[in-house]
Structure 1
Amino acid sequence: MDNITHSLVGIVLAKAVQPSILVDAGRDSIQARRQWLTLFWTAVIASNLPDADLVLTRVGKLSKFDYLLHHRGYTHTLLALIPLALLSALGVSFFFGTWRKGQSPSWFRSKLAAASFAAVLLHLSLDFLNDYGIHAFSPFFNRWFYGDVLFIVDPYIWLALIPFACLQLQNRWARGLWATLGLAMVSVLWLGPFTSVGVATAASLWCIASILLQWKRKSFEATLLAFFSFFMIILLFSVASITAQKTVEAASALLNPQVPVEEISVSPAPGNPLCWRAWIRTQEDDDLAYVTRLGVVSLLPSLLSAENCYPGIEKRGTAQLTPPDLVSTSEISWKGNSHLERQVFDLLRQHSCEFRSFLKFSRLPFLQGLSQGQGRVLVAGDLRYDREAGLGFAEILLSQKDDEACAGDSVPWEAPFFRPRRQK
């Protein structure tokens, strides 16, 4: 998820713990103020600290290839949870001077540690919920896990939690900043290419309802309402994700029920929970090729047909799709097929360390030849993030030479392409 979402979750978490600090330390004491600042910034920083791997890759000037291998890597594991939580709590406590025994009683340290631990855990949980995934159990179990529930920037979580930040924070500059972000998100929903008037209206009403429900509420009551809204969004999107996956799998089975489904990846359209982009991979043509089909699912086709969801999605990517071989309906619109020849795939796995390493990240790989200068180059990419004609963040140029070893060999992640086949 984006760092604004993570920060909002940290703010709500800090406010959930604040009442107990005021009771134990004294509502108007200087000590309570310092402890609140320590708690607030610990929760916000801990909610974002797993993404420190982004800073490290940029400061270290690592390549795009290194970014793909290491982002959501070691800092997004349960093994790193306690060190990251302690680092956040100790660092902020040291800054505000609340780490000393005289200024940090045992009850405060316990609550601070619990809040920091919960913040990191919620970060991992949110990152699991989108189609990028995490490998939370590494190094003991290096498999990727994908929730396929939320888009990486979810407007509805913003519109549920931003009113809380505006109404509960005391700093007027902070309230103004969050209000500006909320208005910007509402504007994007009204003007964005993937939403409709109905969806934008529903989102605006959702934002207004969030404000009214939390207006003049006590901090604890507002916190409960914010968390309730937050988890209800996740629950509703989870049900929608399961529905979209079942719709895609059932439609694919109409072509040939005997062809096993190897992978399904779904993701909601940005700002439109009624529309879902779906990729489904099968192995066909007498095992000569892997075929990955792109479809768009509408959860309410009577209100918005699948054909009108995600306009032009099949024309924007680097991968050149062939025409679809499945019949579209109002519920699901098939956009095209990506073919990955098994012979080429196996040769690259054998001779290209870059490609083998890329497979440790790529869930839905594709290969595409492109013209460059006087010759041709081979691009490896991931269909989940093939959103532009040029090379995107999940697409790399493969070198022309054989390489038996490379830096990617040291990365322990299991290649998601070779996960056990899904059972129908």
Structure 2
Amino acid sequence: MDNLSHSLVGLAGGEFIHRCLPKEKDAEASRLRRRLLLFSCWFASNFPDLDLVLTPLLPEPLGYLLHHRGHTHTFLYALPQAVLAFITIWLLAPAMRLLLRESKAARLGIALSIALGLVLHIAMDYLNSYGIHPFHPFDSRWFYGDMVFIVEPMFWVTFGVPLVMMIPKPWLRLFLLVAIPGVLLYFTFKGFLLWASFAVLMLVGMLFVPLQQRAQKEGISALLAAFGFGAVFITAQALASWHARESIAHIRESRYPGAAMLDVALTPFPSNPFCWTFVSIESDEPAGVYRLRSGVLSLAPGTLPVAVCPAALLGASIDRNGSRDAIFLEHHEGNLRVLRELKDRNCHLQAWLRFARAPEISDGIASDMRFSFRSDDNFTTMKFADFSEKACPSHVPQWDFPRRDLLSERGK
């Protein structure tokens, strides 16, 4: 997820923990504990993304692809991260050390805040199609949620509005309450959001304003509602993702019968459970080929045909005279024998294949079709032919190959 979403959810988590704990001995200690828990949960909610400092260990783009969402996004390595986060806070916040020594509630609060922040980060990053491998080293497979866009305004509104309403300064509170719809309006004009999505986001935000006002200074009802609404939103997106997967399987089989569909990578449009981009991965072992088909799907073609789905995310307009339920935009057919030989012969490509879920490989260039319909603006693109004479890279994480089912004849 984007770091704004991580931050807002972390701040909401820290605030919630603070309000649930027993009060401190005086108002100053209570204010100090609140700042401590807000910072701790926010810090922990962003801490795993410090894995970006590891990207120089490998040449581009391998460093980012294999080390981001890597070891720091696993439950096992969350333990040393929690210790390191606590030590950092202890060193940077000397005024809070005395509070931690004297207050059992503060010690419990910081432990819960750091733990919650780390768990929330891993859980939120699971939601989209990029993937994580949370159970490494016991299970190094990638797990994909395929249910929430990586930049999701619904989280900004659901958690941002209650937090803004807690700000004591009226001018700052008003500024942010105006800024939130202003930013969303900008994205709507730019074609990233439907006007219907904008209206729903505004409605949700307006519901949280009086809810937080009624919760007053110590209440938790608005925060409970934020986490509850977030859970409902994620559940609805998960159900829509399942329906989208079934729909694509049916549509693909009716239009392109024959090959076995191995996987579908799905990405919803922001705050829109009806419009989805997809990449289907097929294998035709008897013919010796695999196929990737990318496109756009609408789960409500009667009222929201694919041509109405926001085009800004695609970088191209959609034919309004085409199919209403699904449009296939790109097609790639690869040779299975060549793919397997390249994997064994080029160790840089082999490392890249530890990330690629939809590997589009041709003319010495490899791209993951999940992230763009054009390889020239795809951050996963690698000219692996340039590495053919170079020494094999060190520090390659041993993640399982997402497309192990393509890399050997028996899928092992």
State the TM-score, normalizing by the size of structure 1.
0.85
Aligned to 2:197: 199
2:360 corresponds to 1:366: yes
Aligned to 1:188: 186
Match 1:81 to one of 78, 81, 88: 78
The residue type paired with residue 368 of structure 2 is D
1:395 is paired with a residue whose SS is coil
Q: Distance in 2 between matches of 1:191 and 1:312?
A: 10
Map 1:16-415 onto structure 2 (within 5 A): 16-21=16-21, 23-26=22-25, 28-57=26-55, 63-97=60-94, 98-100=96-98, 103-170=101-168, 175=173, 178-179=176-177, 182-218=180-216, 219-255=219-255, 259-284=259-284, 286-311=286-311, 329-369=323-363, 378-388=364-374, 390-400=376-386, 402=388, 406-407=392-393, 410-415=396-401
2:215 is paired with a residue whose SS is coil
Task: Name structure 1 gaps, 5 residues minimum.
Answer: 317-327, 370-377
* Pairwise CA distance, 1:420: 9.2
* Pairwise CA distance, 1:122: 0.7
Evaluate the alpha carbon distance shift between residue 157 and residue 95 of structure 1 in structure 2; reply closer, same or farther with a 3 A threshold.
Answer: same
Evaluate the alpha carbon distance shift between residue 24 and residue 217 of structure 1 in structure 2; reply closer, same or farther with a 3 A threshold.
Answer: closer
Q: Distance in 1 between matches of 2:44 and 2:35?
A: 14
Q: Distance in 1 between matches of 2:256 and 2:333?
A: 17
Q: Distance in 2 between matches of 1:143 and 1:61?
A: 21
The residue type paired with residue 277 of structure 2 is R
Residues 216-239 of structure 1 show CA distances to partners (whole Å, capped at 9, x for unaligned) of 323311111111121111111111
Q: Distance in 1 between matches of 2:312 and 2:89?
A: 47
Evaluate the alpha carbon distance shift between residue 380 and residue 300 of structure 1 in structure 2; reply closer, same or farther with a 3 A threshold.
Answer: same
Evaluate the alpha carbon distance shift between residue 76 and residue 403 of structure 1 in structure 2; reply closer, same or farther with a 3 A threshold.
Answer: farther
The residue type paired with residue 38 of structure 1 is L
* Pairwise CA distance, 1:315: 6.9
The residue type paired with residue 283 of structure 2 is Q
Q: Distance in 2 between matches of 1:183 and 1:101?
A: 39
The residue type paired with residue 86 of structure 2 is A
Q: Distance in 1 between matches of 2:283 and 2:247?
A: 19
Evaluate the alpha carbon distance shift between residue 410 and residue 315 of structure 1 in structure 2; reply closer, same or farther with a 3 A threshold.
Answer: closer
CA contact (8 A) 2:314 2:373 kept: no
The residue type paired with residue 270 of structure 1 is P
* Pairwise CA distance, 1:55: 4.0
* Alignment root-mean-square deviation, CA: 2.8
Identity %: 26
1:407 is paired with a residue whose SS is coil
1:330 is paired with a residue whose SS is coil
* Pairwise CA distance, 1:199: 2.9
* Pairwise CA distance, 1:153: 0.4
Moved more, 62-71 or 102-111: 102-111
Evaluate the alpha carbon distance shift between residue 102 and residue 68 of structure 1 in structure 2; reply closer, same or farther with a 3 A threshold.
Answer: closer
Q: Distance in 1 between matches of 2:231 and 2:50?
A: 26
Aligned to 1:321: none
CA contact (8 A) 1:353 1:408 kept: no
CA contact (8 A) 1:267 1:276 kept: yes
Q: Distance in 2 between matches of 1:241 and 1:189?
A: 23
Q: Distance in 2 between matches of 1:103 and 1:161?
A: 31
CA contact (8 A) 2:54 2:67 kept: no
* Pairwise CA distance, 1:390: 2.1
The residue type paired with residue 401 of structure 2 is A
Q: Distance in 1 between matches of 2:234 and 2:14?
A: 20
Aligned to 1:373: none
The residue type paired with residue 237 of structure 2 is F
Moved more, 147-156 or 89-98: 89-98
The residue type paired with residue 24 of structure 2 is A
Q: Distance in 1 between matches of 2:115 and 2:210?
A: 31
Residues 305-346 of structure 1 show CA distances to partners (whole Å, capped at 9, x for unaligned) of 023325487776xxxxxxxxxxx7422222231112223212
* Pairwise CA distance, 1:67: 1.2
2:265 is paired with a residue whose SS is strand
* Pairwise CA distance, 1:304: 1.0
The residue type paired with residue 86 of structure 1 is V
CA contact (8 A) 1:248 1:295 kept: no
Moved more, 197-206 or 67-76: 197-206
Task: Name structure 2 gaps, 5 residues minimum.
Answer: 317-321, 408-412
Aligned to 2:410: none
* Pairwise CA distance, 1:181: 5.1
